Amino acid sequence: MAKSDEDRLLDHSYDGIQEYDNPLPRWWLWIFYATIVFVPIYYLVPGDIGAGKGMIARYEAEVAAYKASAPPPAAWDAAAFAARAKDPALLASGKTVFETNCAACHRADGGGLIGPNLTDDAWIHGGQPAQIHVTVTQGVLAKGMPSWERLLKPEQVDAVIAYVLSLHGTNPKDGKAPEGTADTTAVAAPAAPAPGA
């Protein structure tokens, strides 16, 4: 801090306000210079600090790096699913997933609203667990079924498929009329207590 005897008042005064002729604070000036020097550095230094090749190049590198390191997606294991399709814990979590994400279109009881009735024998895109898995994960954009692959974790997808299968035959009041083709074998598989469907 400058001692007050270093302050030299300038000779002018504006409505009683005076000014000192103090020099610029050194630290202030040096930081200012440093921010100016940062400009060429930013342009010259490649990589994470500098401008590099731009945001798109960086993005593409990021995606490529991820793809190189990511494990290849494992195929959905229908047999493993069938083995636990009746697991009460799985069904309970499936109910939550269904009510949070699916009920808006398929109604809380699965009777159908915007989307088709899930309790009858008719299936538009197939009622085998593997087919439902495709419908849920990929979606059917043309008919307004979103893809849930990004929103639901694999475990949640399994849970919701199990829950949907468990709705079969519940025949809720005022359900939507059947759409698609009947597939009565579909629900037989998980109904079987033993694995191997």
Partner 1 sequence: MSAHVDTFSYDDAIVRKFLWATFIWGLVGFLVGLLIALQLANPAFNLGLEWFSFGRLRPLHTNAVIFAFAGNAIFTGIYYSSQRLLKTRMFSDALSNFHFWGWQAIIVAAALTLPFGFTQAKEYAELEWPIDIAIAVVWVAFAVNFFGTLARRRERHIYVALWFYIASIVTVAILHIFNNLSLPVAPLKSYSIYAGVQDAFMQWWYGHNAVAFFLTTPFLGLMYYFMPKAADKPVFSYKLSILHFWTLVFLYIWAGPHHLHYTALPDWASTLGMLFSVMLWMPSWGGMVNGLLTLRGAWNKVAEDPILKFMVVAVTAYGMSTFEGPMLSVKTVSSLAHYTDWIIAHVHTGALGWNGFLTFGMIYWLAPRLFQAPLHSKKLAEMHFWIATFGILLYVAAIYSAGITQGLMWRAFDETGRLAYPDFVETVMKLMPMYWVRVAGGTLYITGMLIFGYNILMTWRARPATYEVPVISAPPLAPAHPEPAAPAGEGLWARFTAARFHRRWEGLPLTFTVLTALAVIVASLAEIIPTFLIKENVPTIASVKPYTPLELAGRDLYIREGCFNCHSQMVRPLRHETERWGEYSKPGESVYDHPFLWGSRRIGPDLAREGGKYPDLWHVRHFQDPRSVTQNSIMPTYTHLGRRTIDFAGIQGRVDAMAMLGVPYGDAVTRAPELAREQAQQIAAGIAAAGGPADLADKEVTALIAYLQRLGKDIRSAPATASAPAPAPGGAP
Chain contacts with partner 1 (rule: CB under 8 A) = 1-2, 4, 7, 9-10, 12, 14-25, 28-29, 31-32, 35-36, 38-39, 42-43, 48, 51, 54-56, 58-59, 62-63, 66, 70-71, 100, 104-105, 113-114, 141-144, 146, 150-153, 176
Q: Is 113 within 8 Å of 105 (Cβ atoms)?
A: yes
> Quick one: 111 or 190, whose CB is closer to partner 1?
111
**φ and ψ at 12, to 5 degrees?**
-95, 160
- Cβ 76 to partner 1, closest distance in Å? 15
Residue placing its CB nearer to partner 1 in the complex, 58 or 86: 58
CA 118/CA 165 separation, integer angstroms: 8
Closer to partner 1 by Cβ: residue 28 or 173:
28
All residues at 6 or more sequence positions from 26 whose CB lies less than 8 Å from its CB, including other chains: none
Q: Which is nearer to partner 1, 100 or 171 (CB)?
A: 100
- Hey, which residues does 9 pair with through a beta bridge? 20
Write down the least CB distance from residue 101 to partner 1, Å.
8
Shortest spacing between CB 14 and partner 1, in angstroms: 4
CB-based contact 129:81 (threshold 8 Å): yes
CA distance 197 to 79: 7
